[in-house]
Amino acid sequence: MYEIKQGQLSDILAIETNIPEFGTPKTLEIIKQKLADKTYLLLVAYYNEQPVGYKLGYALSDTVFYSWLGAVMPEHRGHGLAQKMLNEQEAWLKTQNYQAVQVKTMNRFRAMLAMLVKNNYHIIDIEPGDTSLDNKIRFEKVF
């Protein structure tokens, strides 16, 4: 049984080390430094009370939120967890009166690109990478 709820930053570590697409998993220290003095939301997907996915973001301003990191362990993909966490994040952002959410992904992450387009996120910037697959694409959704 899957459950999505606000989690602890330490929950991320168990997930990060199990994501093959991540070359260098984020450390708790790096995450805490990035979030220092910021309003943030961490949603964690749990399976039998074990963390298997997460979505972490923080406020860029009083009106714009940045969805910074997210992942679902490979063995738990295909259950709609990324979509459910996106829905939960957007619902929370609306209750907090944010007007927009931004997210960045790479061209190589096709499932993420498709999910963002399907959910009415629009491309607002592209940062060239070493190859076209490494291009970073910034999306935004306005509420």
Give me the pLDDT at residue 26, please: 87
pTM (2 d.p.): 0.94
Return the residue matching tokens 């498709």. 114
Residue 33 falls in which region: left (phi positive, over 0), alpha (psi -120 to 50) or beta: alpha
Q: Is the pLDDT of residue 7 over 90?
A: yes
Mean pLDDT of 75-100: 98
Task: Give the tens place of pLDDT for each residue, 103-134.
Answer: 999 999 999 999 999 999 999 999 999 999 99
Give me the pLDDT at residue 57, please: 98
Q: Provide the b/e sequence for 44-61 (b: ≥16 CB within 10 Å).
A: bbbbeeebbbbbbbbbbe
Mean pLDDT of 4-21: 93
Task: Give the tens place of pLDDT for each residue, 20-54.
Answer: 988 888 899 999 999 999 999 999 999 999 999 99
